[in-house]
Structure 1
């Protein structure tokens, strides 16, 4: 498979996209379409297709056979387009309102035609601006509970489950996560990217043996625990929002992995946003209010996730052990521990690894940015090393608050 293009694959252009959307009969007149490329063109081409007369529109997303971050020298499998589209369809079986609708998939061209979400904004951008989204926690909790439960052994028959694991084998994109989230940031690796002034903090992290031992366990869980179909990249840049709508996009990293991974990534990105508001919200009162809102989102997401997952457990559970007293409690206890550990890895890798977050990187004042990145490294380390002691979701909030204001 590798990064080699499919037979018949060719990159789409604003001229040739028409050939993909024409057969769908979505538009009244395909000769009147306005088409522009809107993606960053790093891993994918994204085309916005609109028919001015009717106002109808679609998005066409095509996978590129390489990562443009380093030109064509980093080949990537086109199979990720199939995985993304299958994962969106799978999610739509349970939470159709929380993912973009997939209209068509062309495996030969590695492209997906889906609902246009131009009326939404990317959650990361909204949160940097201090926007409050009242439905966010409820929606993400529902997305997580429904997609993770229904793709797990708690619900699927053993045969179905193993078929699913096979359908979503995603070795190349998992390798990216294995390296960039769990390995490179914890060692002196060339993919790491951080300001020189952070060197001593980073070296302290690299020399922290306890931290490495604990991260090794989390990496092992990511590698071996095929618990459910996880999104695999659920950060605030993979979520589109309005005041009352939430859409989870971009599941091209989807594979069968630990249930805690998606939850941990989401929480980590909220924690990084929390830190960033020491800059983005100069007014202390506004800042306090918004930072507390972010912690409420974490707590409410966990509470609602747990409530829904538990309800599904009671009503749809397929395994005889699921009715044994204490089994469910044990499951949630370990889940929270793993969630907090995965969150710690994500916080660290977004601070000194290859792919950063705009929350911190957009801070113009160099000194402030350094101070907050230093706090992020502390927070990540604490979450990884103390995850067993943080036995309630409020302990996570208290830890974020404590490190941030220390």
Structure 2
């Protein structure tokens, strides 16, 4: 089996799983399902007679945008994130268990956390009752960044630079091109004209370039790398974290700033956000200014870039967010 998809014959998957010794000889595969919308990889839920599991396979392109090449080894790097993080009992509580990784076919087998939904619903409705889950998201991130690893573990962990360079284009370059081929008026009428002010702001773009250089650098904390509501799952057992394929050792302010940006775009009550962020007590070595700049960058790229979110915002609300974001970046 070279390519995995929901149309693969269950018998083929069953044989493959038994060859990998990921299921027992007595297990039977009943059906294959699409558990959710995957952006980077093919993701399939394998329903067994008893239980289920998740298979992920990376291809040499982005699954959602096949015209965009992407490093095929990204799922291997994700598996190494789980290997490191699973040694921390607190982190392990919020992560799916690892079943195995096949480096020949770039297939990763994980525990199925069960039916649920990601947290992108936060952008669309009042979730003032979600404080415990938002606190859990912050608490997980703090525990991840505070986990210490040996020099050997840090040196042997991949820099994930190929995937970061691809991401760098969408974070720090593409949104600011005067003509990038993406008409923002298809997102919301009038947004293209609003965006032009930021595309032409040379002082802003200089700051963005500097942030991009930091992103392509390194640091001492293990990062998730894409820590936003699309990487969080609400399942029967509560809050969970998935999809750390953009992981690398870098500055903790990056994950933190991205997370706060999504709190702002989701219009979570400020009191809720302040309470939740108490779960991340920042020390003297935490660069609050850098975190604010990353927050601004993430808001800008999400509103005027390709990676759009299901935001229920008026044009005036988007304009206000963009103005705040630009100020955060340039301050």
Q: TM-score band (shorter)?
A: 0.7 to 0.9
CA displacement, residues 162-200 of structure 1 (integer Å, 9 cap, x when unaligned): 514xx2221221012211112221232516551162233
Q: Structure 2 stretches of 5 or more lacking a match? A: none
CA displacement, residues 92-114 of structure 1 (integer Å, 9 cap, x when unaligned): 22211111111111111111111
Matches within 5 A, 1:277-316: 291-292=268-269, 295-306=270-281
Matches within 5 A, 1:325-344: 328-329=283-284, 331-332=285-286, 334=287, 336-344=288-296
Moved more, 91-100 or 116-125: 116-125
Q: Structure 1's 370 and 134: CA in aligned 2 closer, same or farther, altered over 3 A?
A: closer
Root-mean-square deviation over aligned CA pairs: 2.5
Q: Structure 1's 217 and 144: CA in aligned 2 closer, same or farther, altered over 3 A?
A: same
Q: Structure 1's 371 and 35: CA in aligned 2 closer, same or farther, altered over 3 A?
A: same
2:167 aligned counterpart, secondary structure: helix
Per-residue deviation, 1:51 = 2.5
Per-residue deviation, 1:259 = 1.0
Matches within 5 A, 1:346-361: 346-358=298-310, 360=311
TM-score w.r.t. length of structure 2: 0.87
Higher Rg of the two aligned structures: 1
Q: Structure 1 stretches of 5 or more lacking a match? A: 1-8, 275-290, 308-327, 387-406
Kindly tell me the number of residue pairs found equivalent between the two proteins.
Answer: 320
Q: Structure 1's 189 and 252: CA in aligned 2 closer, same or farther, altered over 3 A?
A: farther
2:218 and 2:28 map into 1 onto residues whose CA distance is: 50
TM-score w.r.t. length of structure 1: 0.72
2:198 corresponds in structure 1 to 205
**Conserved in 1, the CA contact under 8 Å of 2:38 and 2:64?**
no
Matches within 5 A, 1:31-180: 31-40=28-37, 42-52=39-49, 54=50, 56-71=51-66, 73-94=67-88, 95-126=91-122, 128-131=124-127, 132-150=129-147, 155-157=148-150, 159-160=151-152, 162-164=154-156, 167-180=157-170
**Conserved in 1, the CA contact under 8 Å of 2:32 and 2:47?**
yes
CA displacement, residues 190-238 of structure 1 (integer Å, 9 cap, x when unaligned): 1655116223322211222332232222222212242322111111100
Per-residue deviation, 1:149 = 2.2
2:249 corresponds in structure 1 to 256
**Conserved in 2, the CA contact under 8 Å of 1:184 and 1:192?**
no
Per-residue deviation, 1:296 = 3.7
Matches within 5 A, 1:3-14: 10-13=2-5, 14=8
